[in-house]
């Protein structure tokens, strides 16, 4: 039954246009999350390389943390993942929701 099998791509295109595979994703023991690494994990999930649950388990992330990364990428691209700009983007979207 092919329709019951979960087919995954061997690679997806990463945030910088490079191919991403399971082997090229950040290491499981990653603790320092820079913008590029966060964006790679989000791209892997969005492209079907990993499920959200697998990403959270693999990197010991809370579902809420990963969801905030996805939201930031959707709203502001990679720049939205910068920790130093979180307050700026949060304020911006709160102002936009008022109108």
Residue 74: which CATH number? 1.10.10
How many domains does the chain divide into? 1
For residue 13, list its beta bridge partners. Answer: 19
Tens digit of each residue's pLDDT (9 = 90 or more) over 35-61: 999 999 999 999 999 999 999 999 999
Residue 40, pLDDT score:
97
Residue 3 lies in a domain: no
Average pLDDT, rounded, for the chain: 87
Report if residue 26 sits inside a domain: no
Residue 36: CB atoms within 10 A of its CB come to 14
Residue 55 lies in domain: 11-21+33-98
Helix or strand or coil: residue 27? Answer: coil
> Looking at the domain assignment, is residue 44 inside a domain?
yes
pLDDT at residue 89, rounded to an integer: 63
Inside any domain, residue 73: yes
**69 in Cβ contact with 81 (< 8 Å):** yes
What is the per-residue pLDDT across 5-34, written as a single tens digit (0 to 9) for each?
578 899 999 999 999 999 999 999 999 999
d(CA 10, CA 64): 27
Do the domain assignments include residue 70? yes
Secondary structure of residue 13 in the 3-state scheme: strand
Distance separating alpha carbons of residues 60 and 53, to the nearest angstrom: 10
């Amino acid at each position: 039954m092919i329709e019951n099998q979960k087919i995954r791509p061997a690679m997806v295109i990463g945030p910088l246009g490079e191919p991403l595979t399971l082997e090229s994703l950040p290491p499981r023991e990653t603790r320092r999350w820079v913008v590029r690494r966060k964006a790679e994990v989000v791209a892997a999930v969005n492209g079907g390389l990993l499920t959200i649950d697998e990403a959270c388990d693999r990197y010991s992330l809370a579902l809420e943390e990963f969801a905030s990364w996805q939201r930031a990428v959707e709203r502001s691209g990679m720049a939205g993942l910068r920790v130093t700009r979180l307050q700026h983007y949060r304020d911006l979207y709160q102002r936009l929701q008022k109108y």
